[in-house]
Structure 1
């Protein structure tokens, strides 16, 4: 069994970098970050839906292997846990900023 490369991780599209000499406006940066978060949430949702479908097929006696169902469930679980950890860090950073004296 060959190990597949991480093709899921791809650079965000439409980003302007400092190396190119063009800095995005705050609005563009906000939109880019928002689009990135939306894409990440959609990816987590797809993994959850795929896991649910494979589990349903297994329960109904469909043509699916148990190990494939378990792998899909673990992928969905890891994606959700990573998303929750990122959310926790963002909330923690926000709370830290709020506590800063002006």
Structure 2
């Protein structure tokens, strides 16, 4: 056992209860930031794919394979986003059905 692990245990035992609630708020903010970042990335992929498709329609595309790969990546990321949303909604509905 190292001194660092002992020091971290000592720090945990001295945690203020108010600090614990502040840590929970930071975790919630971290989760909301993570969700916002994920939504932004999916949106960015969809917008870049839309631009690629417009260039394809005009005939201004140098690499058709890369356009199709980008299109498929955007489609898969959107499907993943929808599946995560569906699972979160199902979990929320299950929690709301529970009796207290």
Shorter chain as normaliser: what TM range?
0.7 to 0.9
How many residue pairs match? The answer is 83
Give the drift of 1:64: 2.6
Q: 1:84 is matched with which residue?
A: 82
- List 4+ stretches of structure 1 deviating above 3 A: 21-24
Give the drift of 1:55: 1.0
Q: Which has the higher contact order (CA 8 A, sep 6+)?
A: 2
Contact 1:58 1:64 in 2 (8 A): no
* RMSD between superposed Cα atoms in Å: 1.9
Q: 1:47 is matched with which residue?
A: 45
User: How far apart, in 2, do the equivalents of 1:45 and 1:72 lie?
Assistant: 13
Residues 40-83 of structure 1: CA deviation (Å, up to 9, x unaligned): 00000011011111111111121432111111110010000000
The structure where helix makes up a greater share of residues is 2
User: How far apart, in 1, do the equivalents of 2:48 and 2:85 lie?
Assistant: 23
Contact 1:51 1:76 in 2 (8 A): yes
Give the drift of 1:39: 0.2
- Greater Rg over alpha carbons, structure: 2
85-94 vs 66-75, which deviates more? Answer: 66-75
